[in-house]
Structure 1
């Protein structure tokens, strides 16, 4: 199944380290970071889940719930949690889905046979409170994800939703942003961006980040 940006994230019910999870009801009014890892008790995956736990506060500020998944069993996940906590010096604070029957992996096309024949690749889905897929990323097994980049994209998406701006190349939180070209009403522009803007071209209008 090919999932594209803007598609409704498929719902599912699956066991996890925190009990059964039905995605849509578990998400509630939150954003969701759904990310797969190849296998338990592997080095890169251990660092990734540990770092995700350390970002709990950052995700909470953005109303994001993290949810990991692999095709390992619930028993394997439960044993692995101890390794994550000991080696990464953190308490695991989000669930790991046990997808031994590959229900979630199939729904979200997380198994790429030409990369890893029987395991989930490092896939990322960011899902908004309307259950729409807003970001997809896929990493090779040997490369750990940049979770700061994932937070950056979530910040950008939330700015667009709330303030009608887009973010330019290499944007970081606090940098100038771009007024979306579809916003042309002068009164609305003045109301939304009281600090004004610089028009480098009619379609390229830079303004200070409005929530700063």
Structure 2
């Protein structure tokens, strides 16, 4: 039976696991950092191979944002280490290892605990496969964002970088980010602050969008970090 996914704003569960880089205690591993945990149905699967390779190529961009990375797949460490060789070769990545650990979850304990099973996709033994989950965790160890893809659909890591930029910006500024926002574009002043406070808080100013209702609730301001 599947467990329940962590709730936004709740402390992300701690756990001790074996990984390709040795044993880790998850809370110790992510201490003081933003973090991303992303899961995979199994080793030696084609879509996962492209994803793990993509994350390796993006590792520097995540590091620039202070994000620690960890993957999870429902096989043991020795299987992971063999698979890494295929990932590096097929995705044309230099070196002899990935720049982040892959967690061993061969008994599916974590997959069940974190509610990451996809009942529609079964493995050769007829067991539900692990869905492609993405958990973004903030420096307070609280879940800031979760995404759950079916096993058949690969993730867009450009989008994950984008949401990290948004989460980090909005964690410290009284702004929200509109649809398709990317770093450096205009943000939206949150409804909870008055025009007077916004004038003080945002020295670059803000503009109200005219709408038929006449309500000035859409207030745009330049990205405070730009």
Do Structure 1 and Structure 2 share a fold, with TM-score over 0.5?
yes
- State whether residues 68 and 97 of structure 1, in contact with CA within 8 Å, keep that contact through their aligned partners in structure 2: yes
Match in the other structure for 2:212:
none
Residue matched to 1:147: 157
1:206 maps to 2:206: no
1:11 aligns with 2:14: yes
112, 117, 121: which one pairs with 1:106? Answer: 112
Instruction: After superposition, give the CA deviation of every residue in 1:167-212 in whole Å (9 maximum; x if it has no partner).
Output: 01111221110011112272x4234311100012432110011100
Are the aligned partners of 1:31 and 1:64 in contact in 2 as well (CA < 8 Å)? yes
The 1:146–1:41 alpha-carbon spacing in structure 2 relative to 1, beyond 3 Å, is same
Greater CA radius of gyration, 1 or 2?
Answer: 2
Greater shift after overlay, 111-120 or 95-104?
Answer: 111-120
Counterpart contact for 1:10–1:107, Cα < 8 Å: no
| 1:6 CA displacement | 1.0
Normalization by structure 1: what TM-score? 0.94
Q: Output the CA distance in 2 between the equivalents of 1:203 and 1:13.
A: 46
Task: Assess if the C-alpha contact under 8 Å between 1:5 and 1:134 holds in 2.
Answer: yes
Look up the match of 2:102. Answer: 96
Task: Structure 1: state its 5+ residue gaps.
Answer: none
The count of residues paired between Structure 1 and Structure 2 equals: 211
Aligned-residue RMSD, C-alpha: 1.4
Structure 1 segments of 4 or more deviating over 6 A? none
Q: Report the equivalent of 2:34.
A: 31
> Any stretches of 5+ residues in structure 2 without a counterpart?
210-214
1:113 aligned counterpart, secondary structure: strand
